[in-house]
Amino acid sequence: MNHLLPVTLAPIADIAATDNAVRFGATTGVKIDLTPITAKDDDTNIIGHSFTAVATDGRRLLRVKGECDTSKEPNTYPPIPALDSAPNGQLSAVVPAKDWTKAFREAEKLTRRGCKPILRNVAFVCGEQVSTLASTDLERVSFHQPRNLDGRFPAWEKVIPEGTPTYEIAVDPILLAELLTTMSKLAGDDHAKRVTMSFHQPDRPFVLRTHNPSMDALGIMVPLAGDKGQKITQRTTTDAETEIAELRAALESKDQIIADAHEELEKLREKSAEDETHIASLKETLEYKHQRIAELAKEENGQYYREQIADLETLRKIDADKIGTQRLILDGILTTLKPLANNPGCIAYDVYHQAKEALGQ
């Protein structure tokens, strides 16, 4: 199957790398990709193809997209016998820039005057090893069948900026090209050529500057009349998909934060339960110590009273005068113990009765 490419695609090959300044071998050609177009109500029904042509030399890149011209009546492209036997079946190839330029320029010359619009195309057939490019004015035929370039073509999609630009400025391409060509000549030595472009406001002229060791040059480029370079606000499908992806990532991040917070909360709850258990244990220990202190206090009081009783035993062996005095003391002790000696089994009860026994009461 042949695909019709407009003759105006010829200049794209000018952007391709030259043989003496190439990083990737395939960049010395034009990469052409064909994409099937299906019917809206039936995606298995192919009704045509679109094309994407790309050329780059590593420092600049040009991409052109469009639809292959229809082959339906009344615009049927005339048959070219050599195309029928051309290798076919592929949708992508890298065509050498020199062969691309020659085929498209011959087609442009053949069909420049008095030809139907359908003839202002190059019939392109994509094979695995070779590509075929042909054109005709119904009298003459231009035919080229170069071998496809091998090697890697750079991933050009990755260098195209994503998102919405800040603003756009429309200019006359011929005037801009002439101004840049003139400033390039003023810049002098080829290895030092540089033109700087400065954009200040979207609706104001932008500035171009260059210099060489002996002079500086400044150029002004005015946007096209009626075009104020207004800021871009329209949203594209890519923008929406990017925002959705960012929102999803944010939600996933929030979900992770919430999950981490729940985990920390569970840890705090476990720590709190451990702390409560520890506090209960401390309270139990404290109560035990208070009880023990009280018991020790009672034991110390009992020891005091026992010492008093020992003193009473000593009283029996001293002088009678002293006994009288000691009895007064002992009576005072008994008076003190009597209110505490009502409970049999307590220390005060035992001490009280031992004291009475010591006094012979």
pLDDT at position 256 is: 76
Asked if the structure places residue 232 within a domain, the reply is no
- Who has greater pLDDT, 102 or 186? 102
Indicate the pLDDT class of residue 259, thresholds 50, 70 and 90: confident
Same domain, 61 and 115: yes
Distance CA 36, CA 318 (A): 134
pLDDT, mean of residues 250-271: 76
pLDDT at position 104 is: 95
Asked whether the beta carbons of 188 and 134 are under 8 A apart, the reply is no
Are β-strands 42-56 and 141-144 bridged in parallel, bridged antiparallel, or unpaired? unpaired
Same domain, 149 and 174: no
Q: Which of 29-38, 126-135, 168-177, 287-296 has the lowest mean pLDDT?
A: 287-296
Asked if the structure places residue 231 within a domain, the reply is no
Is the confidence at residue 234, as pLDDT, over 70?
no
Note the pTM of the prediction, 2 decimals. 0.58
User: Residue 170: which domain range?
Assistant: 163-221
Indicate the pLDDT class of residue 73, thresholds 50, 70 and 90: very low
Same domain, 58 and 142: yes
Same domain, 127 and 202: no
* pLDDT, tens digit, 9 for 90 and up, residues 327-354: 666 666 666 666 666 666 666 666 666 6
What CATH number has the domain bearing residue 120?
Answer: 3.10.150.10
Is the confidence at residue 278, as pLDDT, over 70?
yes
* pLDDT, tens digit, 9 for 90 and up, residues 194-210: 889 998 887 788 999 98
Cβ partners under 8 Å of residue 79, min gap 6: none
Asked if the structure places residue 118 within a domain, the reply is yes
Asked if the structure places residue 127 within a domain, the reply is yes
Split into its structural domains, the chain has a count of 3
Same domain, 19 and 119: yes
Q: Which amino acid is at 220?
A: I
Same domain, 7 and 139: yes
The mean of the pLDDT values for the chain is 79
Same domain, 109 and 208: no
Same domain, 89 and 201: no
Is the confidence at residue 185, as pLDDT, over 80?
yes
Same domain, 346 and 247: yes
Asked whether the beta carbons of 128 and 89 are under 8 A apart, the reply is yes
Same domain, 244 and 341: yes
Asked if the structure places residue 226 within a domain, the reply is no
- The last residue of one of the domains, among 157, 176, 205, is 157
